[in-house]
């Protein structure tokens, strides 16, 4: 199976959940999912989590040490 590159996108505008799922190739992702993401210095393994104290797309963050301050929206990942 050939790996493809996809971009993490904003949730569907009709998703009114306070913690909406980010979209990857049209499907919602889940907290705890791991991805190989492209950063300026190359590909890195990351894990995405949800901060229950925040709402909207801003609730998503990268829990991998060293990447906690990077917003996952717009990242390119291998699928």
Write out the chain's pLDDT in tens, 79 residues: 788 999 999 998 888 899 999 999 999 999 999 999 999 999 999 999 999 999 998 999 999 999 999 999 999 999 9
- Residue 63 and residue 43: Cα distance in Å, rounded? 16
Please count the other Cβ atoms lying within 10 Å of the Cβ belonging to residue 1: 4
Work out the end-to-end distance of the chain between its first and last CA atoms, rounded to an integer number of angstroms: 10
Fold annotation for 5-78: Thrombin, subunit H (2.40.10)
């Amino acid at each position: 199976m050939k790996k493809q590159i996809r971009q993490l996108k904003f949730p569907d505008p009709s998703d009114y959940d306070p913690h909406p799922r980010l979209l990857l190739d049209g499907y919602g992702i889940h907290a705890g999912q791991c991805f190989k993401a492209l950063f300026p210095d190359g590909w890195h393994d990351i894990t995405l989590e949800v901060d229950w104290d925040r709402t909207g797309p801003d609730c998503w963050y990268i829990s991998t040490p060293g990447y906690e301050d990077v917003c996952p929206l717009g990242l390119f990942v291998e699928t």
